[in-house]
Amino acid sequence: MALKQQQELKQTQRLSPLQMQVIKLVELNSLEVEDRIKQEIEDNPALEVSDSRPVDDGNDSSETTEDVLSQEEIILGDYSSEDDIPDYRLNGSDHKISTNIVEISYYDDKSLSDSLLEQIGLLNLDGQRQLVAEYIIGSLDENGYLQRDLQSISDDLLFQQQIDVSPLQMEDVLYEIQDMEPAGVGARNLRECLLLQLGRSELSQAVKHAREILSNYFEEFSRKHYDKIIRQMDITEDELRKAIREITSLNPKPGNALGGTLQTAMNNITPDFIVDSYNGEISIQLNNSNVPSLQVNRSFSEMLKGYNENRESMSNDDKQAILFMKQKVDSAKWFIDAVKQRQNTLQRTMEAIVSLQYDFFLTEDETKLKPMILKDVAERTGFDISTISRVSNSKYVQTNTGIYPLKFFFSEAMQTNSGEDISSREVKLILKESIDNENPIKPLTDDQLTKILNEKGYVIARRTVAKYREQLNIPVARLRKKI
């Protein structure tokens, strides 16, 4: 078959730099946006922080915001025209209320690996053992466990570092790490982690029983077969209760006592929205306290303007400089527009959520939550469902009484015997209350919980009760049993 050339006319859709910026920024929470802005300022000399509103230097970018938005409607159906975007100050100082932001941190700034490496440095190990210790520490997961077997680590050391160390020699170094802080670090499984911690406890009868349970009856303990443990250890219920109290006081994830910079950020809850209700009125504020106001560097723009006016007499090097500067200015404008669009998207989405869940935000009574899915918010805002999903992911709202993830307000609809639509959140609340008030010696089974809900007028099947119980991270009745 002979080769031939032919012309073909077709339309394609591509995301512009601004569109890609907006999509990425919408997914980020306030802390991540702050880091992203800092990174962009470092990378782009044409972008700078301003104490005033972002300035317009009069130079048109190669693609206007209105053009971008019209394309975005075709591709994602996400954004309205630029005329609908209020001129937000990115530092949020124009909003009505000022609320103290609560940041809840559970972690030290020093990472687990940094802490362990610092402790290893105090042991005066020889060069090879020091390297082995560093390699083992680098293999620990975020919870402080060594999930890989020592033979695999030994093979890696031989292949990557040309160091031949037997698993037995590595185990000696591992024992050194297991003696470090936090207690339980370097364990290869949960049982070893708990035993390492008990090994540092003051020896008492309860601790002695706890060690024996973990060493010889760990499976029975995890399955809560307490009768079997009492019978085989020949102890009383009171002695078992004290031993279990010792075990449950231990930390199953010792690595979580410390966290690196990313881990720290992930475990800080900084709300992205602040919803305040007072005297029957609700106000909504974006938390932009740490987001600076941005503008295009005026000096950069003036230099570019001067170069453009003298383009004819310029050398090739000067023209390359102009091209570089124009790219940076365009990139700065796109980024500023993207941050504005992110603010607008988040604001309108939160307004829609508050409107749909108005009774809850007024009273903060969970039974007032209405069934709400992504589609409901999308229809109110005009955004695509994928945009609402991006906004609701990893974002939090602070109210008068607490901080909630946005996903908290989304729930499927259920019906009562009278045909009234209710939120599954209400059913979960009643389910949790029933379990909280159950007899711990005889916990309620899923069948019994289903009967309780049916008697309260909720049309629900046993499998749905089991699903909701699992979503609430509540174990089955047998595992909730206490002695």
Query: Is residue 483 in a domain?
Result: yes
Q: Within this chain, do residues 432 and 393 fall inside the same structural domain, yes or no?
A: no
Alpha-carbon gap, residue 28 to 38, rounded angstroms: 14
Q: What secondary structure letter does DSSP report for 87? A: -
Angle at 373 (CA atoms; ends 271, 433), nearest 5 degrees: 75
Q: What is the per-residue pLDDT for 379?
A: 93
Confidence at residue 355, expressed as pLDDT on a 0 to 100 scale: 93
The reported pLDDT for the residue numbered 82 is 34
CA pair distance 446, 477, nearest whole angstrom:
8
Q: Give the per-residue pLDDT at 151.
A: 87
235: alpha, beta or left, given left = phi > 0 and alpha = psi -120 to 50? Answer: beta
Residue 458 has pLDDT above 90, yes or no: no
Model confidence at 346, pLDDT cuts 50, 70, 90, reads very high
**What value does the mean pLDDT take over residues 50-76?**
39
Residue 302 confidence (pLDDT): 76
What average pLDDT does the segment 245-265 reach? 67
Indicate the range of 3-17, 32-46, 101-115, 464-478 predicted with least confidence: 101-115
Whether 6 maps to a domain, the answer reads: no
Q: Using 50, 70 and 90 to split pLDDT, how confident is the model at 66?
A: very low
pLDDT score for 268: 55
Domain count for the chain: 3
Cα dihedral 437→442→447→453 (10° resolution) = -10
Residues 90 and 148 both lie in one domain = no
Is it the case that residue 262 has pLDDT exceeding 60? no
Q: What tokens does 336 get?
A: 């500023």
368 and 343 co-located in one domain: yes
pLDDT of residue 210: 92
Lowest mean pLDDT among 66-80, 157-171, 271-285, 447-461: 66-80
Pick from 395, 354, 438: which is nearest to 33 by CA? Answer: 395
Give the pLDDT confidence score for residue 356 in this predicted structure.
Answer: 92
Residue 367: its pLDDT value, please? 76
The pLDDT assigned to 23 comes to 81
1 falls within a domain: no
pLDDT tens track for 129-172? 888 888 888 888 888 898 888 888 888 888 777 788 888 888 98
Residue 457 — pLDDT band, cuts 50, 70, 90?
Answer: confident
Last residue of a domain, one of 410, 438, 467: 410
Q: Are residues 226 and 352 in the same domain?
A: no
Pick from 23, 18, 38: which is nearest to 291 by CA?
38
Average pLDDT over residues 427-451: 89
Task: Verify that 285 and 383 share a domain, yes or no.
Answer: yes
Tell me the Ramachandran region of residue 279: left when phi exceeds 0, alpha when psi lies from -120 to 50, beta otherwise. left
Name the domain boundary from 257, 290, 311.
257
User: Residue 433 belongs to a domain with what CATH number?
Assistant: 1.10.10.60
My answer on whether 279 and 340 are in the same domain is yes
- For residue 331, being part of any structural domain is answered with yes
pLDDT of residue 54: 38
Q: Tokens 């077709």 map to which residue?
A: 10
The two structure tokens encoding residue 376: 């409901």
Considering the domain architecture, whether residues 275 and 244 belong to the same structural domain is answered as no
% of the chain residues with pLDDT over 90: 14
Q: Would you say residue 236 lies in a domain?
A: yes
**Residue 84 shares a structural domain with residue 142:** no
Full domain range(s) for residue 419: 413-483
pLDDT one-digit tens code per residue, 180-225:
888 889 999 989 999 999 988 888 899 999 999 999 998 888 888 8
Read off φ and ψ for residue 147, nearest 5 degrees. -80, -20
Ramachandran bin of 457, using left for φ above 0, alpha for ψ from -120 to 50, beta for the remaining angles: left
Specify which of 18-22, 94-98, 197-201, 325-329 reaches the highest per-range mean pLDDT: 197-201
Sole residue written with tokens 């979503």? 471
Give the model's confidence band at 257: pLDDT under 50 very low, under 70 low, under 90 confident, else very high: low
